[in-house]
Amino acid sequence: MTMEPTGREYTVERSDAEWREQLSPEEYQVLRRAGTERPWVGEYTDSKTVGVYACRACGAELFESDTKFESHCGWPSFWSPLAGESVELLEDRSMGMKRVEVRCASCGSHLGHVFEGEGFDTPTDQRYCINSISLTLKPADPA
């Protein structure tokens, strides 16, 4: 799948060559080409570390660990982004279905998808299903 341009200007802009130089081939495939990592292989799928999850491409803070929950879907799941403006949501009609793609609002990198109404016992009834490879965990300072 190729990411469709949104027409939006991002605070972090790089050429395709610069993204390819900065990111590993696997990171580039997910973050810049809207790929998906295989389920159950990501480094943050089962992480319980307290901290903030940031965009691996640009470092923008996206999710707090206290919004992460066990959805048993094979990818890290969060019930809310850190702040409403930290992610952008786009309609995704690829794969023969209507979904909502989640992108980093700072650089436009693909993070995953958000789903609603699945019945999880969370404050929002949303599941932000995010690729581990799209994230970097910044552990909280020990108190």
**Residue 129 designated active-site:** yes
Strands (E) across 29-98 are located at 51-55, 61-64, 68-69, 77-78, 87-92
Is residue 75 a contact partner of residue 42, using CB atoms and an 8 Å limit?
yes
- Calculate the average pLDDT of the chain: 91
Supply the pTM of this predicted model. Answer: 0.90
User: With bands split at pLDDT 50, 70 and 90, how would you rate the model's confidence at 1?
Assistant: very low
User: Using one digit for the tens of pLDDT, what is the confidence trace for 115-126?
Assistant: 999 999 999 999
Count of C-beta atoms within a 10 Å radius of residue 84: 8
Kindly list the structural domains of the chain, giving each domain's residue range(s) and its CATH number in brackets, ordered by start.
16-139 (2.170.150.20)
For residues 132 and 75, is the Cβ–Cβ distance under 8 A? yes
Given 55, 58, 107, 129, the catalytic residue? 129
**Residue written as token pair 């990171």:** 27
Helix runs in 15-101, H state only: 16-22, 25-31
